[in-house]
Amino acid sequence: MKRQTTVRKNLDLLDEFMKYAFDRPNVLEQIPRNASLVILPEGDPSLEKENRRTLNKLKARGEEIVAIKLKATKRKISKVG
């Protein structure tokens, strides 16, 4: 998967997570301040594979990580510019 595609898809996932967290602020309190958040999308095996690679790299470095599963959406991103 191209890096640009991975980034775009992860931004979509982050957007979905933030919408979820906006309605449930206590979710954000469960993520330690210095932790990296890795979203494992359900329904997008190629992105999940890429994000698991990132998760494993962070673990190998001894970084604090929070991994969550989130349903991948199929909506399109509107382009700015």
Tens of pLDDT, residues 36-46: 999 999 999 99
Q: Which residue, 45, 47, 36, 46, is CA-closest to 13? A: 47
Q: Which residue, 51, 40, 46, 63, is CA-closest to 1? A: 46
CB atoms within 10 A of CB 41: 22
Q: Where are the domains of the chain?
A: 3-71
Determine the pLDDT at residue 81. 44
Mean pLDDT of the chain: 88
